[in-house]
Amino acid sequence: MQFMNLSLIFCLGILVFYYKIIYNAIRDRLRLYHYVGRFEGPTALPLIGHLYMVNIFDISKLVDQILHLALYYCNKGCGIVKLWVGPVPLLAVINPVYAKEVLESTEVITKADEYDILFPWLGTGLLTSTGDKWRQRRKMLTPAFHFKVLNDFLCVHDYQAKVFLDQIKPHADAGKEVDLFPYIKRCALDIICETSMGATVDAQNNHDHQYVESVRRLSEIGFQWIIYPWLKLKPIWYLTGTGFEYDRHLKIVTDFTKNVIEEKWNEYQQFQLGAEKKDKRSMAFLDLLLQLRSEGLMNEEDIREEVDTFMFEGHDTTAASMGWTLWCLAHNPEIQEKVIEEVDKIFGSSDRDCSNDDLKQMKYLEKCLKESLRMYPSVPFFGRKVEKDTVIHGDFFPKGARIVIVPLVLQRNPTLFENPNQYNPENFSEEKISARHAYADVPFSAGPRNCIGQKFAMMEEKAVLSWFFRKYRVTATQEFEENKILPELILKSSLGFPLKVHSRMDNK
């Protein structure tokens, strides 16, 4: 009898426990819906939300729909637009005033749940971590991007840029288009491998390197996971084969990184007390991480997370930026000639390497890069999760809300940029910059969670493209608008970058 009473009490306790969990979950969900419902947005359907607007057979149309919606609500004076990805509400920022408050917030720094797909790959590295871990990691890693350290990487940029020129030389003056994106991407991968890990992958000469393909597929699958809610269900994730493919590519990428880290750690231990110990200023990013490991500040998994993070963020983003810049310049020959004129003024007909002073003189090329990033930001969105009730620009954001900042929307806002769909580097003249809101252009994010590697990226892109325009011009036969935007984890192009490459006879 006593046993039965105890069993009954135990069962009742379990029921009460789960009742409270379910009750609290429903209460919190209804509260979230109530406050999110105060924001304006297009009509959503039950369960699927706004997914009926997404053409699963042509994802490029999604960008046109987003820009159209943003313009409509911008003209209505809205700063936030409510969107539903299935049953999940997102609050999209379309006004730089709201973007400033969100991105500068020291409270709203946790990445949204949409980043969960990256955790098996990047762990809780600098991109995905939050709270005290993020603050500590950011402080520890900032010295790795000091200008003295970045200057030491210029020799890597120069060397790999020359390999890039050798790779495309057979296509110059061939009279037909070549997709330059694979060549640019392999160049960017070799640069980030050598600068972040001190390792030579030689992807430019080894076109079938598995790492490149695996990163590409992880990015594609990751974006599918974000926009198609049914893939979040484990049975569907694996029954469709998507989960197995993701796991396979994940293992290739992480195993590659782990092997390099192990090799470099053995070297570090062997030479750290000897005469061959590297000067701190000339260390690769991984060398600095290994030093932190030797001081007990990081472990092997911490290092892998950060290296994988910078390998991912440091080659796909810069490759996309350089590719879109070439595409824009090919369709604006008068602007391209100004770039060539600037490059010739700095280097003449010499083949000498770039110096930091040279990069500082590339002011017009920098404008061109910034303008292509305005029109085609490498990172299509930044997501934040509200972890406690907060007020942003007078609007109440409940705990659990997800905020999405879309640079593509902000940076093509016709109230902020005249003729926003037209390529115009003068948008980044001092006069134009000073006349508009500082958060109208945020391709590298902004505030405390801005991109730690943005100076590195700009140095790399200026070095590689200046080498390119010393030797070549580009033209295009396909219309500018035919190359549609594909909104993956990193903004891609539907056609790649099919361009004709012409040798510069005037600079031989």
* Crossing angle of the two packed helices 285-294 and 181-197, in degrees rounded to 10: 30
Q: Assess if residue 12 is contained within a domain.
A: no
In 142-209, where does DSSP find H-type helix?
147-152, 154-168, 181-197
Quick one: which of 155, 195, 187 has its CA closest to 168?
Answer: 187
- Structure-block tokens of residue 332: 């604006």
Give the count of domains, the chain.
1
Task: Quote the pLDDT of residue 187.
Answer: 94
In which domain, by residue range, is 424 found? 22-507
451 is in an annotated binding site: yes
Using CA atoms, how far apart are residues 212 and 201, in angstroms rounded to an integer?
A: 10
- Residues forming a β-bridge with 499: 178
In 57-105, where does DSSP find H-type helix?
61-75, 96-104
User: In this structure, what CATH number is given to the domain that contains residue 297?
Assistant: 1.10.630.10
Task: Quote the pLDDT of residue 141.
Answer: 84
Torsion of CA 392, 444, 320, 351, to 10 degrees: 170
Identify the burial level of 223 via C-beta atoms within 10 angstroms of its C-beta, where 0-12 means exposed, 13-18 middle and 19 or more buried: buried
Taking only the tens place, the pLDDT of each residue in 119-151 is 888 888 888 888 888 888 888 888 878 777 788
Q: Assess if residue 120 is contained within a domain.
A: yes
pTM (two decimals): 0.87
Q: Assess if residue 5 is contained within a domain.
A: no
- Structure-block tokens of residue 242: 């998507």
Task: Scan for tokens 């210029």, then name that residue.
Answer: 154
Taking only the tens place, the pLDDT of each residue in 325-363 is 999 999 999 999 999 999 999 999 899 999 999 999 999
- Structure-block tokens of residue 375: 């029109």
Sign of CA dihedral 101, 107, 109, 114: negative
pLDDT tens track, the chain, 508 positions: 555 555 666 565 565 555 566 766 677 778 888 888 888 888 888 878 877 777 766 777 778 888 888 888 888 888 889 888 878 888 999 889 999 999 998 888 888 777 888 888 888 888 888 888 888 888 888 887 877 778 888 999 999 999 999 999 999 998 899 999 999 999 999 998 888 887 778 889 888 778 878 888 888 898 888 878 788 889 999 999 999 999 999 999 999 888 888 888 888 887 765 544 444 434 567 888 888 888 888 888 888 888 888 888 888 899 999 999 999 999 999 999 999 999 999 999 899 999 999 999 999 999 999 999 999 999 888 888 888 888 888 889 888 888 999 898 899 988 889 999 999 999 999 999 999 999 999 999 888 888 888 999 999 999 999 999 999 999 999 999 999 988 777 888 989 999 999 998 765 4
Task: Quote the pLDDT of residue 14.
Answer: 64
Q: Per-residue DSSP letters for 266-324?
A: HHHHHHTTSTTPPPGGG--HHHHHHHHHHTTS--HHHHHHHHHHHHHHHHHHHHHHHHH
Task: Scan for tokens 């290994």, then name that residue.
Answer: 290
Torsion of CA 330, 335, 339, 345, to 10 degrees: 140
Contact between 366 and 84 (Cβ < 8 Å): no
| 402-405 and 88-93 beta bridge pairing | parallel
Q: Assess if residue 2 is contained within a domain.
A: no
CB atoms within 10 A of CB 266: 10
- Count of alpha carbons within 13 Å of 287, Cβ hemisphere only? 20
Q: Assess if residue 16 is contained within a domain.
A: no
Q: Assess if residue 413 is contained within a domain.
A: yes
Residues 6+ away with beta carbon under 8 Å from 97? 79, 393, 437, 439
- Residues forming a β-bridge with 396: 391
Task: Quote the pLDDT of residue 275.
Answer: 44
Identify the burial level of 436 via C-beta atoms within 10 angstroms of its C-beta, where 0-12 means exposed, 13-18 middle and 19 or more buried: middle
- Count of alpha carbons within 13 Å of 14, Cβ hemisphere only? 5
Task: Quote the pLDDT of residue 280.
Answer: 44
Q: Assess if residue 181 is contained within a domain.
A: yes
Q: Assess if residue 205 is contained within a domain.
A: yes
